[in-house]
């Protein structure tokens, strides 16, 4: 079986061991006589699946006991609404805008509260993370919001903002589980699964318990209440059962392979391989400031749109796929999430070197 090296930003590559395990269990999960896809979410068998997934995630991330873990649906886009609807008290929130997803988040929040843009990097097309010191935090702000890793632009918060005591909310859709974090520094973390965790369709929320409340706006739909889902252990309605099962397999895979610390070491090695090549290339160049480079999404270009297109075409023909940059910025993007092997990155770097020599010789 020939598998390509998949550099997609999401849905993204999954560990082959996880895919094989799921394939082995597809028709008959642990002698239950049925697939997890067919299983009642109220059954004892599935209850064990979802509880083990939560327990393993808590172990991986060292999640404090006063935080709830929720398995939801709707992706990051639904969280853009759920966050303000559940966290607003003074109806004011501060947003640091470092890309399209934060732009969408602040626009959505503005439907429900006063959403302040307290910092932005849009002046240079989001190619850097703005200065996080001496931010003008609104005294009435219910929370400060960041998107910690920006998939489109290839930037990452390497430091957290000084929120002056205000709760910090982070969209970690594309960097969760890629490196150690201190969960206690955040009031709420959310992540769409399709980057670094599991298949599209599952969203994970990690929320401090004191933020769970019944005192929501009367127009807030029941399904958008964090407390409803927390009180029902993510089983208020039928959850994305198979997606959660796959997430659970990924968590076990990570635990069996050294946890987040080991993954971080591999991610640094992969990123350094690619960035070192870019820094020494005569054809390719990175698009973001070095201090703000993402470990997960490496963006780069040449000086020619024609050469960019040729590179993407020839890379695809060499089984290096989904390297085209986001439609809003163009160029190239290599997403090197946890499940992307070091061998895959080496193959990409080798191809880039060969491509560069060929193009330069033609010139």
pLDDT in tens, 35-94: 999 999 999 999 999 999 999 999 999 999 999 999 999 999 999 999 999 999 999 999
Is the domain of 202 the same as that of 311? Answer: no
Is the domain of 34 the same as that of 175? Answer: yes
The residue out of 256, 287, 317 marking a domain boundary is: 256
User: Percent of the chain scored above 90 by pLDDT?
Assistant: 97
Predicted pLDDT at 185? 98
Is the domain of 281 the same as that of 295? Answer: yes
Is the domain of 218 the same as that of 94? Answer: yes
Whether 3 is covered by a domain: the verdict is no
Predicted pLDDT at 1? 62
Judge residue 295's burial from the number of C-beta atoms within 10 Å of its C-beta, 0-12 exposed, 13-18 middle, 19 or more buried.
buried
| Residue 277 pLDDT exceeds 90 | yes
User: At 307, which CATH number?
Assistant: 3.90.1150.10
Residues with catalytic annotation?
Answer: 101, 171, 195
| Residue 140 pLDDT exceeds 90 | yes
User: At 193, which CATH number?
Assistant: 3.40.640.10
Whether 9 is covered by a domain: the verdict is no
Range of the domain at 92: 16-256
Is the domain of 196 the same as that of 145? Answer: yes
Which positions ≥6 away from 254 have C-beta within 8 Å?
60, 177, 260, 263, 338
- Mean pLDDT, range 205-233, rounded to an integer: 97
Whether 183 is covered by a domain: the verdict is yes
Question: Which residue in 159, 108, 118, 121 sits closest to 141, CA to CA?
Answer: 118
In the predicted model, what is the mean pLDDT of the chain?
Answer: 97
Is the domain of 264 the same as that of 216? Answer: no
Is the domain of 188 the same as that of 213? Answer: yes
How many structural domains are present in the chain?
A: 2
Whether 298 is covered by a domain: the verdict is yes
Predicted pLDDT at 299? 97
- Mean pLDDT, range 295-301, rounded to an integer: 97
CA 341 to CA 3: how far, in whole Å?
12
| Residue 288 pLDDT exceeds 80 | yes
Predicted pLDDT at 290? 96
Is the domain of 184 the same as that of 72? Answer: yes
| Residue 8 pLDDT exceeds 70 | yes
Which positions ≥6 away from 77 have C-beta within 8 Å?
104, 108
pLDDT band at residue 136 using 50, 70 and 90 as cut-offs: very high
- Mean pLDDT, range 265-279, rounded to an integer: 98
Q: How many CB atoms lie within 10 A of CB 271?
A: 20
Is the domain of 225 the same as that of 205? Answer: yes
Residue range 327-354, pLDDT digits in tens = 888 899 999 999 999 999 999 999 999 9
Is the domain of 229 the same as that of 303? Answer: no
| Residue 363 pLDDT exceeds 90 | no
Residue range 143-202, pLDDT digits in tens = 999 999 999 999 999 999 999 999 999 999 999 999 999 999 999 999 999 999 999 999
Is the domain of 114 the same as that of 204? Answer: yes
């Amino acid at each position: 079986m020939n598998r390509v090296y998949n550099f997609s930003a999401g849905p993204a590559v999954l560990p082959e061991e996880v895919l094989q395990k799921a394939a082995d269990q597809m028709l008959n999960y642990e002698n239950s006589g049925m697939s997890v896809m067919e299983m009642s979410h109220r059954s004892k068998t599935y209850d064990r699946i979802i509880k083990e997934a939560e327990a393993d995630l808590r172990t991986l991330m060292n999640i404090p006991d006063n935080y709830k873990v929720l398995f939801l649906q709707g992706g990051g886009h639904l969280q853009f609404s759920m966050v303000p609807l559940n966290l607003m008290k003074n109806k004011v929130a501060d947003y640091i805008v470092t890309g399209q997803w934060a732009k969408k988040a602040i626009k959505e929040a503005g439907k429900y509260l006063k959403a302040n843009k307290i910092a932005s990097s849009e002046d240079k097309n989001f190619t850097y993370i703005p200065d996080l010191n001496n931010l003008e935090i609104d005294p009435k702000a219910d929370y400060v919001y960041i998107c910690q890793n920006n998939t489109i632009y290839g930037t990452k918060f390497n430091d957290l903002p000084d929120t002056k005591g205000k709760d910090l909310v982070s969209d970690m859709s594309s960097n969760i589980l890629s490196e150690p974090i201190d969960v206690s520094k955040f009031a709420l973390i959310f992540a769409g699964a399709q980057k670094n965790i599991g298949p599209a369709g599952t969203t994970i929320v990690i929320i401090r318990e004191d933020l769970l409340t019944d005192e929501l706006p009367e127009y807030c739909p029941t399904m958008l209440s964090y407390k409803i889902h927390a009180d029902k252990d993510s089983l208020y309605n039928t959850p994305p059962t198979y997606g959660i099962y796959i997430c659970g397999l990924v968590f076990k895979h990570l635990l069996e392979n050294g946890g987040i610390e080991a993954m971080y070491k591999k991610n640094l090695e992969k990123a350094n391989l690619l960035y070192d090549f870019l820094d020494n290339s005569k054809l390719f160049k990175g698009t973001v400031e070095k201090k703000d480079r993402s470990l997960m999404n490496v963006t780069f270009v040449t000086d020619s749109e024609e050469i960019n297109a040729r590179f993407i075409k020839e890379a695809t023909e060499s089984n290096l796929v989904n390297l085209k940059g986001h439609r809003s910025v163009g160029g190239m993007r290599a997403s090197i999430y946890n499940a992307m092997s070091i061998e895959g990155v080496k193959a990409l770097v080798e191809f880039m070197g060969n491509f560069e020599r060929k193009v330069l010789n033609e010139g």
